[in-house]
Amino acid sequence: MLFGAPALFQRLYTRARLGRPGPADEDSPAAAHASAPVASLDPLVVRGARLFFNEQFNGNGRTCGTCHPADNNLTIDPRFIATLPPTDPLFVAEFTPALRENFENPKLMRQVGLILENLDGFDDLSRKFVMRGVPHTLAMATTLAPATFDGTTIPPNERTGWSGDGSPGSGTLREFAIGAVTQHFTKTLRRRPGVDFRLPTDEELDAMEAFQRFLGRDRDPDLTTLKLKGAVPRRGLEIFLTNDTKGGTVPAGKCGQCHGNAGGSVGGVNPNFATGVEQLADTPADLIDPRRNPPDGGFGRGQFTGVAGFGNGTFNTPPLVEAADTPPFFHNNSIATIEGAVAFFNSQAFNGSPSGLFLASQDSGQIGIRLEPAHVEAIAAFLRVLNALENIRSALELKNFVLEAHAGPDTDRALLKLMLAELEDAVEVLEGAGLHPVAVEHLKRAMHHTRLAAGAGSFQRNSLIRQAITEVHFARRDLVE
């Protein structure tokens, strides 16, 4: 939590300053297990974070943080996986005989970042499974409300996972941990509660839900008020928001029809769509191990006409604000770059899908999405800048926390490392497309001051932090009005 989820600290610190809720009791169980920066935060969230990253539930050694590590934006990808030691619990299928078959596909895990999921039941492990990427858990509070117009059902009462039905029971985020422990923490494929693992208690479920609801943003940005300075990202924002091909000079990206304000919701609910991603040819998983990469039917467990696999063919809408930070993309990790992800919606696979045909029917020109290569690059540039702005916002709030909280040198150093990680992410997403070199230089200077501050005494530290804040503000002014 200290090194990968700064937004949690930011939100809770703001709540504490507003008096909602009061600080944790120093004698409470949460405080006893918390480090200084979280001892004064909501005790339920603190306990949830400890459970999320440390609790193995008497299973095979995995925790929730095994697939949602704090130091990798709460997701995993092949680059991160390659840094792990061979004894990491992520690779438990490689060194546990009881889990060698039908628990994971080590080849697709290591090379594509895919995890085996038995979302359609455990009654036929060799046939009923899908291979999916690990979605980040940032801003989940903005994408839980289910839609009623997309062919899905209620229950599930909240939308979780790539297909929006990742939780057992009534299908809530609270119950998600039950499914995760049963699926991923078991010692054998018999999955016996009390033998192969223990299920979370009611109190633990409450705590982990509270923690996950606090991760990341609690609202989407207002794109209508965002005034970008860069010509290419600004054009990308215009294309992103334009819905009709007729009567204007801006190409219609139609992105906001599914990603309102670059989030994962439309009209306050999180919908599912059949976008044709599953029909893409030559995905990495298909090229590497086609026999062990069965069709993924998305939402539901039934078999539907015209849908390969189990499900109705629809998948959940993820938020885009953090997208440039968290590749690869889509439920099957089929696209490696944000530019490639945008280009997919310009493809025949999408435009021939139910969602693509629906967008065409809403267009006065009866056109789906048809963009020139420069338009694709522009939308991707906008998403990169949007991601960098979120990194900058997080970094500034962390710096303010260090300056105002007076939590002690150890806590300050930990939070400065968090802030440094945010700045590094901002630099990476901007440099990835050669965007805003002036802002990048200011961010690099801020990183330098932050590193010095982490090793300095309190007086010099505060001076260095203020210098870093100045550089971050200069960087932001190069991105937006």
The whole model's pTM is what?
0.89
Domain at 386-479: CATH architecture: Up-down Bundle (1.20)
- Which of 366, 296, 381 has its CA nearest to residue 330? 296
- Going by their DSSP bridges, the two strands 272-273 and 315-316 should be labelled as antiparallel
How far out from the chain centre does Cα 317 lie? 12
- Over the stretch 314-363, which tens digit does the pLDDT of each residue have? 999 999 999 999 999 999 999 999 999 999 999 999 999 999 999 999 88
Domain ranges for the chain, please list them: 6-214, 223-374, 386-479
- Over the stretch 22-74, which tens digit does the pLDDT of each residue have? 333 333 433 333 332 332 357 888 788 889 989 999 999 999 999 998 778 88
Please give the backbone phi and psi of residue 63, each rounded to the nearest 5 degrees, phi first: -125, 175
The residue behind tokens 């007086």 is 459
Cβ partners under 8 Å of residue 92, min gap 6: 60, 61, 62, 99, 103, 104
pLDDT value of position 411: 67
Dihedral, 181, 184, 190, 191 alpha carbons, nearest 10: 0
- Which of 200, 244, 218 has its CA nearest to residue 362? 244
- 416, 402 in Cβ contact below 8 A? yes
pLDDT value of position 292: 95
- Decide yes or no: CATH 1.10.760 for domain 223-374: yes
Regions of the chain short of the pLDDT cut 70: 1-41, 407, 411
DSSP-assigned beta bridge partners for residue 271: none
pLDDT value of position 407: 64
pLDDT value of position 73: 86
Rounded Cα distance, 444 and 471, in Å: 9
Three-state secondary structure string covering the chain = CCCCCHHHHHHHHHHHHHCCCCCCCCCCHHHHHCCHHHHCCCHHHHHHHHHHHHCCCCCCCCCHHHHCCHHHCCCCCHHHHCCCCCCCHHHHHHHCHHHCCCCCCHHHHHHHCCEEECCCCCCCCCCCCEEECCCCCCCHHHCCCECCCCCCCCCCCCCCCCCCCCCCCCCCHHHHHHHHHHHHCCCCCCCCECCCECCCCHHHHHHHHHHHHHCCCCCCCCHHHCCECCHHHHHHHHHHHCCCCCCCCCCCCCHHHCCHHHCCCECCEECEECCCHHHCCCCHHHHHCHHHCCCCCCCCCCECCCCCCCECCCEECCCCCCHHHCCCECCCCCECCHHHHHHHCCCHHHHCCHHHHHHHHCCCCCCCCCCCHHHHHHHHHHHHHHHHHHHHHHHHHHHHHHHHHCCCHHHHHHHHHHHHHHHHHHHHHHHCCCCCHHHHHHHHHHHHHHHHHHCCCHHHHHHHHHHHHHHHHHHHHHHEC
- Residue 221: exposure state from Cβ atoms within 10 A (0-12, 13-18, ≥19): middle
Rounded Cα distance, 229 and 237, in Å: 11
- Which of 389, 284, 279, 387 has its CA nearest to residue 335? 284
- 405, 478 in Cβ contact below 8 A? no
pLDDT value of position 37: 31
Query: Largest alpha-carbon pair distance within the chain?
Result: 68
Cβ partners under 8 Å of residue 20, min gap 6: none
